[in-house]
Amino acid sequence: MLIQEIFTPGHEYPPSSLQKLEDGPDVGDLIGSGSFAKVYEDKTNQYNVIKIGRVENEDPKKDGYLAFLNNIKRLKIITFPRVDTIEIFKNVDEGYIPYIFKVRMEKLIPGTELSSSEIISLFERFLGKNSPAEELEIHQETDIINKIEIFLGYLKRYMFTDGFADELKQIPDRNLRLAVRSMKKTMKEFKLDLHGYNVMFRRTPYGVQPVFTDPFAWLK
Ligand SMILES: Nc1ncnc2c1ncn2[C@@H]1O[C@H](COP(=O)(O)OP(=O)(O)O)[C@@H](O)[C@H]1O
Ligand SMILES: [Mg+2]
């Protein structure tokens, strides 16, 4: 189902519970979790994951993550994850959570698994001549997240400062520019939540590619 159809006024959300979604026959081992969702292996496809989570807003249109999924489907930018299916359910559990979701998407690599040379190539290929001169050598896992946050810091300068539109053109990668522009736009409505664990990576024949998995939190 298209996410646009899900947001059509009057759309009926089938009832379900988190437990029922998590017990689904296609749901494998837990591989990650954040404040709103858990991510599992997809038993039907080794290249995918299943993300199951909560929408804490009465109106699904006002949820930052669902708005982001909508952008992914609409824009088809490769620095956003490939998303195969999106399902939204009315939550039948007691409590304040109105909706829950189940998303099937590509399996990505966490930043903590990148090597020093991958981090260096990430800066060179995606930030071009704005790439920082500082030492990018990595000694431990916390260093990697720290470097990724520095990388994100460069992108956030464009997002938070209006006069930087021209500088954005210096980012050599077209897909990264498109993603930054799209996030800058979405930031007007939703709170940006871009940190070292909300960007993941894809290994390609050309090198490692950043993929923004979860850049928005709630309504501003
Ligand atoms: N596409 C993915 N492939 C592999 N692991 C993922 C993927 N998406 C998320 N994860 C893992 O699950 C964790 C939580 O996912 P995230 O999308 O950040 O949800 P939350 O909204 O709960 O923060 C991530 O920090 C990461 O470890
Ligand atoms: Mg997260």
Q: What is the DSSP annotation of 142-155? A: HHHHHHHHHHHHHH
**Percent of the chain as helix, strand, coil, to the nearest 5:** 35, 25, 35
Residues of the chain with pLDDT > 70, as a percent, come to 93
Q: Which residues are found with C-beta within 5 Å of the ion, ligand 2?
A: 34, 198, 214
Q: Residue range 27-47: average pLDDT?
A: 96
CA of 189 to the centre of ligand 1 (A): 22
- Which band of pLDDT confidence, cut at 50, 70 and 90, is reported for residue 109? very high
* The amino acid at 153: G
- H-helix or E-strand spanning residue 96: none
d(CA 37, CA 51): 7
Helices 174-186, 141-160: inter-axial angle, 10-degree rounding: 70
Q: Which residue has the tokens 């400062």?
A: 161
- pLDDT surpassing 80 at residue 141: no
* The amino acid at 190: F
Cα–chain center distance at 148: 14
Predicted pLDDT of residue 82: 97
CA of 115 to the centre of ligand 2 (A): 22
At 126, is the secondary structure helix, strand, or coil? Answer: helix
CA of 35 to the centre of ligand 2 (A): 7
Domains contained in the chain, CATH given: 3-106 (3.30.200.20), 111-219 (no CATH)
Four-CA torsion 82, 184, 203, 29, nearest 10 degrees: -50
Predicted pLDDT of residue 61: 87
32 Cα nearest atom in ligand 1: 12
Q: Residue range 107-135: average pLDDT?
A: 82
| Entry pTM | 0.92
Phi, psi (rounded to 5 degrees) for 122: -60, -45
Residues of the chain with pLDDT > 90, as a percent, come to 63
Give the Cβ contact number of residue 167 at 10 Å.
13
Confirm or reject: Cβ of 110 under 6 Å from ligand 1: yes
CA angle 85, 91, 92 (to 5 degrees): 135
- pLDDT surpassing 70 at residue 137: no
Predicted pLDDT of residue 16: 98
Confirm or reject: Cβ of 172 under 6 Å from ligand 1: no
Predicted pLDDT of residue 26: 98
Q: Which is more confidently placed, 98 or 217?
A: 98
34 Cα nearest atom in ligand 1: 22
Closest-CA residue, ligand 1 atom 24, reads 32
- pLDDT surpassing 80 at residue 202: yes
- Which band of pLDDT confidence, cut at 50, 70 and 90, is reported for residue 135? low
Best residue among 29, 38, 39 to mutate for probing ligand 1's pocket (most ligand atoms within 8 Å of CB) is 39
Predicted pLDDT of residue 5: 80
Q: Which is more confidently placed, 220 or 172?
A: 172
At 43, is the secondary structure helix, strand, or coil? Answer: coil
